[in-house]
A and B are shown apart, each in its own frame.
Chain A
Amino acid sequence: MSKPSDLVQGTLDLLLLKILALEPLHGWAISQRLKQVSGEVLQVSDGSLYPALHKLEQEGWIASEWKMSENNRRAKFYSLTRLGRRQLDKESANWDRLSSAISHVIRLKEA
């Protein structure tokens, strides 16, 4: 439960990039958004979100900025960078290829 092991390896990165592509968000909001959009199917513990975000920031795919949040407290907002946009495109394409290949295999009729 504490590790995103039930997510396909590397998909957390893709999800985070995609969520941030829509709008800059802070960590808590990202966790809410994750639960919301995946309909609670994808379980990501609140804690393991942050190492992932920090890793993406170190890669230069997302950037962070301290801003006032909707409840008027200082919060760290993450946004997608140009590099991150490119990475998102690449990973989405990969994902499409992979998922369509897997669906293809799964739909094979048993003899």
Chain B
Amino acid sequence: MALEQWLYKLPLRLRSLFRRRQVEGELNEEFQYHLARQIDVLIAQGLSPTQARETAMRAMGGMEQQQEKCREARGMSWIEDLVQDVRYALRTFRKSPALASVIVASLALGIGANTAIFSVIDAVMLKMLPVRDPQQLVLLKWSAPRYPQEFVSDIEGSGGHDRGGLFFSQSFSSDVYKAIKQQNQVFDSTLAFAGNDEDVNIEVNGQAESARHQAVSGDFFNGLGVRPFLGRTLLPSDDTDSAPPAIMVSYAFWQKHFGSSRDLHGQTLAMNGESVTIVGVAPAEFFGIRPGDDMDLYIPLSLYLRQWNRLSPQESLLASKTWWLGIIGRLKPGISLEQAQTQLQVILNRALDVNAKNPKDLVVPRLDLLPASKGLNALRKKFSTSLFLLMGMVGLVLFIACANVAGLLMARASGRRKEIAVRLGLGASRSRIIRQLLAESVLLGIIGGFAGLLVSLWASSALVRLLSTGRSPIDLSVHPDFRVLGFTAATSILSGIVFGLIPALTATRVSVVPALKESGTQTLAAAGRFRLGKSLVAGQVALSLLLLVAAGLLLRSLEHLQRANLGFDQHALLNFEVRPGLNGYKNDALANYYEELQRRVQSLSGVRNVAFAQMGPIAQGESSGSVTIPGYTAAGQQVDVYRQIVGPNYFQTMDIPIVLGRPTTQEDGPTTPKTIVVNETLVRTDFHGDNPIGKSLVRGSKDHQQSFEIVGVAKDVKYGSIRGDVPPTIYLPYRQWIFLPSQMRFFVRTDGDASAIAASIQRLCLALDKNVPVVDMQTEEDVISQSLLLERTFALLSSAFAALALLLACVGLYGTFAYTVSQRTSEIGVRMALGAKRESILSMILRETLLLVIIGIVVGLPIAWAATRFLKAQLFGLSAHDPLTIASSGLAILAITLLAGYLPARRASRVNPMVALRCE
């Protein structure tokens, strides 16, 4: 029935919409026909033609009204009205282009900033993995009240303590993976990947470079449902000990090295010196499993293991206490997360043989399943808080922009009171006029939205560029998709309604007669009516204050971070990495390479000191392990310490003072007793302040113990990040560590400009071995400044948003007062005629501005006080209620807004009383 009805209705409606002229013509013809017939009848009854026409017309009962009712009956009149409204609105904009462009610009900035931040959120947080049915994927994670040393000795991949103090990781041992894969009945497929993804040295087309690689199980691509762009995916048959080495490469890698060639046949490359065959190219949209962290190569786990064994034969990944594999499962239809979790926990406990262990003090890892539909969450975790805070800020900016536009429209609507009164007097309904005013504001919103989209295209790519300078580029594709476009459309229309509704409602609340009687310029009554506009301005000031305080706190945190005492001297310090181990250097040859390079660089003029270590102190990784301290740790207890593997001369080069004992030196070799230097924090926390010199630390399990004698205590140095507290740290001589690192980071203390010496170092390294490339040469100051990238970007963006908010608030203030001044010209004229001085007029207007701004600040302060606690985690070295920041923000806003208020006040004081009175 309903369908059949629409078969009749739809063509009619479309016809009245698109063939409007024809429909109108027919309507007229129909009425004319009726009239003609009626007139004929009436003439036949004896009336004169004129009388007959009049009578027939009267019987119609108002032909125009009846035709209008027919149009309404067609049900499409609202669209026709809309077209009319839009035309009318465009005409109004053309009449006041300045106002329209100020409004569109405010909205474009507000909406553009929102869209830009949203599109980054969209790319990081909302995009699904480009695989088949991503919502079925789960990632396995475990947690325990403390490090479960009964089961785990080494973790490769992510791990650490969460906020609740639980130890967690996403890595599992080979045995656990095998058990879960073979025994579970909850997953359609169980996929594994190596938790760590170190760079590899590759040689492709005769060029040596570094590439990012991800090791995956043989069924990984089939399990995810990813089809290759070229060739085939990796298969389980590639993931065996005897399989010839086969890898897949990313689309971007293929494009870069092989261009648009579609011929895979026999393409090979050398990976850490081993020749491997490229069997397939991943599709362009496949970014791996971590959004923003694109891989170049995908290799089978078997190949990864073989390379691992070649490079570090001392530690086997297959050991049951080495946890190194991430596991992703595809849930069978109908299986809930809880069911799967329960079954997998049973399998895990069986694989770990939990029941056979002494239950006393036993800590068993507890499994957890995380939805993996959007990929692993490293990037998301890193950016999500900042992004959401930014989203909140730009939301406020848009709000301010809307308030601003509402104020401007309201000012104009009061200027249009007469027009509106006339229309109401002529019988227009209030709702019809509101609709028309709303059409205007929504149209402004939409134009602003389009402009905002353009702003956001530029801004979001700039934002991604800003975030991805540095060592780890973030390859996010932030193309506006339907979500982003929908967001922009919704924001534009919604803000059009928000800023349009208030002016439309107030403007149409007009009593017709008084409005028409009012003279051209208005009186005090108009200023009273404009109170709403003023409170909008006060509100803008309040919100701007909030943003200003937030930006101030972030800027000052950044400053604190930049000036934080790191414990070593980061100035005039150059660093770079070499990886001779990947080129086959081993044992003494490897150590000789490092020390020879150290000697040669030392001999360069302008070099004061040279040292090397496994990694830099800041932002170049962390490594930690558990040790026992005889005489201090209770039996069976261990403490976590962070380690730094260092070469000779490290402390001197880095300017780290040794406060007790001696530094490690070249004499601490492979055959001499094992020695370490500890930091002050370790002495304080683990030795309770006792003199540790001569005491020892023991590392490793019972049957494989190593004891290190403490020979010195170094002053505290930041470890890994500037933000974190200094952890207990040990410094180990590199020749005494269980294996010789295959790569080292060199630190060069120079006399003058550090970067000037970089080229000579490059030449030296090539002379030593032309196949060992120098990687990642940069000054330590750059390293540190890049480690603050997120903080700096965040501070920069929030400052920009605060400035934008302040600018908008100033425009609002200026507009509002310029309007009230123009409305009060005659009042001011009277005052001046009665003897008021220019200065008193100026101060009268300025007092009003000041009052408004102070109200805004008074309202804004408690809001800022309450809201800044959301920033707490982002701050460093100051409280969220830092009085200096709050006070200076308040003063800044006062000064700037008063400046904006001064211009209209000055104009008011320049009023010529004669002119003002005459325009009455």
Interface residues of A (CB under 8 A from B): 1-2, 26-28, 31, 45-48, 50-51, 54-55, 57-60, 63, 66, 69, 71, 73-76, 81-83
A51 to B531, CA, bound (A): 46
Closest 4 CB pairs of A and B: A60-B8, A2-B61, A51-B69, A47-B66
Contacts A46-B59, A47-B66, A74-B29 known; A60 to B4 CB distance under 8 Å? yes
**Distance between A3 CB and nearest chain B CB, rounded to angstroms:** 8
Beyond known contacts A51-B66, A58-B74: 14 more, CB 8 A cutoff: A28-B33, A46-B56, A47-B59, A47-B66, A48-B69, A50-B31, A50-B66, A54-B73, A54-B74, A59-B9, A60-B6, A60-B8, A73-B33, A83-B1
Q: Are B8 and A47 in contact (CB under 8 A)?
A: no
A-B contact pairs, 21 of them (CB 8 A): A1-B61, A27-B34, A31-B34, A45-B60, A46-B34, A46-B59, A47-B62, A48-B61, A51-B70, A51-B72, A51-B73, A54-B73, A59-B5, A59-B8, A60-B7, A60-B9, A71-B37, A74-B29, A76-B29, A76-B30, A81-B8
When distances are taken between beta carbons in the complex, the residues of chain A under 8 Å from B56 are: 46
Shortest distance between the CB of B508 and any CB in chain A (Å): 28
B33 touching A63, Cβ below 8 Å: no
Q: Is the CB of B60 within 8 A of A47?
A: yes
Pair A50/B8 contact, Cβ less than 8 Å:
no
**Docked-complex contact A83 and B66, CB < 8 angstroms:** no
Q: Are B12 and A76 in contact (CB under 8 A)?
A: no
- A-contact bits for B9-20, CB 8 A (1 contact / 0 none): 100110000000
Could you say which interface size class chain B belongs to? 20 to 34
Do B36 and A73 have beta carbons less than 8 Å apart?
yes
Chain A residues within 8 Å of B62, by CB: 2, 47
A27-B34, A31-B34, A76-B30 as given contacts; A55 in contact with B61, CB under 8 Å: no
Using Cβ atoms and an 8 Å threshold, which residues of chain B touch A73? 33, 36
Min CB distance A69 to B, Å, is 8
Given the contacts A46-B38, A58-B74, A63 and B61 also touching, CB distance less than 8 Å: no
Task: Determine if B29 and A46 form an interchain contact, defined as CB atoms under 8 angstroms apart.
Answer: no
Is B26 located at the chain interface by the 8 A CB criterion? yes
Identify A76's interface contact among B26, B63, B65, B73, CB under 8 A.
B26
Chain A residues within 8 Å of B59, by CB: 45-47
With A and B bound together, what is the CA distance between A46 and B446 in angstroms? 45
- Per-residue CB contact flags for chain B residues 629-656 toward chain A (1 = under 8 Å, else 0) read 0000000000000000000000000000
Out of B1, B4, B63, B74, which one reaches A47, CB within 8 Å?
Answer: B63
Q: Knowing A58-B75, A59-B9, A71-B37 touch, does A50 contact B30 (C-beta < 8 A)?
A: yes
CA distance in complex: A4, B417 (Å): 38
User: CA A47 – CA B65 in complex, angstroms?
Assistant: 9
| CB contact under 8 A between A63 and B31, given known A47-B61, A54-B74, A58-B74 | no
8 Å CB interface, B35-54 against A: 36-38, 40
Docked Cα-Cα span, A26 to B33, in Å, equals 9
Residue among B4, B12, B37, B70 making CB contact with A50, cutoff 8 Å: B70
Chain B neighbourhood of A59, CB < 8 A: 5, 8-9
Nearest residue (CB) in B for A27 is B34
- B61 / chain A contacts, CB cutoff of 8 Å: 1-2, 45-48
Shortest CB–CB separation between residue B728 and chain A, in angstroms?
Answer: 82
Contact A75 B33 (CB under 8 A): yes
Cβ of B26: which chain A residues have Cβ within 8 Å of it?
A: 66, 76
Chain A residue at minimal CB-CB distance from B7: A60
Q: How far is the CA of A54 from the CA of B23 in the complex (A)?
A: 12
Given contacts A46-B59, A83-B5, is CB(A28)–CB(B74) below 8 Å?
A: no
Shortest Cβ distance from residue B262 to the other chain A in the assembled complex, whole angstroms? 58
